[in-house]
């Protein structure tokens, strides 16, 4: 199946700094990429959806100025957590799909996740 | 809004035992239903899916039937293996975006 990678797999940073997480589709071109956040023993919460070349669409309650998403190419999306604080500590997961939203048969492929710890 | 409820884990079984992980959903319209599996250190993988009522999704010995009348999509396997140890997520997708809404995940631990 298609492979999605994330880098780094874990990161520890000081409060107030910014952290960038990369999501890459390794063997396919991803028209749409998604960013999720997962708390311990909780479900995946969709943060934002991005289509290549356009601005990301953020879910209600997600601060777009804090979680900057860039989908500059068909194989790369980045999530930057700006001025991180301890409450931003979480597991961040990206996924990618070939088609645009609205296609019910278009499978999402998930990355392995990035563990962010803010001290 | 749409939501998925699945049984809390961990579910601990011996090898070759029968597995059931319950999943119920609330949605408007007619959603597609999915089970995803997450092995340790890996991303979520689609395990099986069903797109309409009474459909049965199956893969790797796992099965789930789309039950509209009970709004359920329970995951079953007749004989689990140690290699099945993972976290299993039930999900639905509906509406124009077809972006999945996930349950909380159920951890399965299979002992030899």
How many degrees, rounded to 5, is the angle at CA A22 between CA B42 and CA A77?
110
pLDDT score of B14: 97
How many other CB atoms are found less than 10 A from the CB of residue B70? 8
Closest residue in B to A23 (Cα–Cα): B43
A79, A21 Cβ separation under 8 angstroms: yes
Of residues B36, B43, B105, nearest to A4 (C-beta): B43
- Hey, are the CB atoms on B105 and A109 less than 8 Å from each other? no
Q: How many alpha carbons lie under 13 Å from residue B54 in its C-beta half-sphere?
A: 0
Give A83→chain B minimum CA distance, Å: 27
For B56-110, write each residue's pLDDT tens digit: 999 999 999 999 999 999 999 999 999 999 999 999 988 666 788 899 999 999 9
pLDDT single digits (tens) B14-33:
999 999 999 999 998 889 99
Higher pLDDT, A43 or B22: B22
Rounded CA-CA distance A111/B56 in Å is 27
Distance in Å, alpha carbon of A20 to nearest chain B alpha carbon: 19
Write the residue in B43, B97, B99 that is nearest to A111 by C-beta: B43
């Amino acid at each position: 199946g298609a492979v999605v990678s994330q880098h780094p797999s874990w990161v520890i940073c000081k409060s107030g700094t910014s952290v960038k997480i990369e999501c890459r589709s390794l063997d396919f071109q991803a028209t749409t990429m998604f960013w999720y956040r997962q708390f311990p023993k909780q479900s995946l919460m969709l943060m934002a959806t991005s289509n290549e070349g356009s601005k990301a669409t953020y879910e209600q309650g997600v601060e777009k100025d804090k979680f900057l998403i860039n989908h500059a190419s068909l194989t790369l999306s980045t999530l930057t957590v700006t001025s991180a604080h301890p409450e931003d500590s979480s597991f961040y997961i990206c996924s990618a799909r070939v088609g645009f939203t609205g296609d019910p048969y278009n499978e999402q492929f998930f990355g392995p996740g990035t563990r962010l710890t803010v001290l | 809004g749409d939501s998925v409820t699945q049984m809390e884990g961990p579910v601990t079984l011996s090898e070759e035992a029968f597995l059931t992980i319950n999943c119920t959903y609330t949605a408007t319209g007619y959603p597609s239903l999915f089970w995803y599996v997450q092995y340790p250190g890996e991303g979520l993988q689609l395990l099986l899916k069903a797109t309409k009522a009474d459909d049965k999704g199956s893969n790797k010995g796992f099965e789930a039937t789309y039950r509209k009348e009970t709004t359920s999509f329970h995951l079953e396997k007749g004989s689990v293996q140690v290699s099945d140890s993972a976290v299993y997520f039930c999900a639905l997708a509906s509406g124009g975006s077809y972006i999945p809404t996930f349950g909380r995940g159920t951890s399965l631990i299979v002992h030899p």
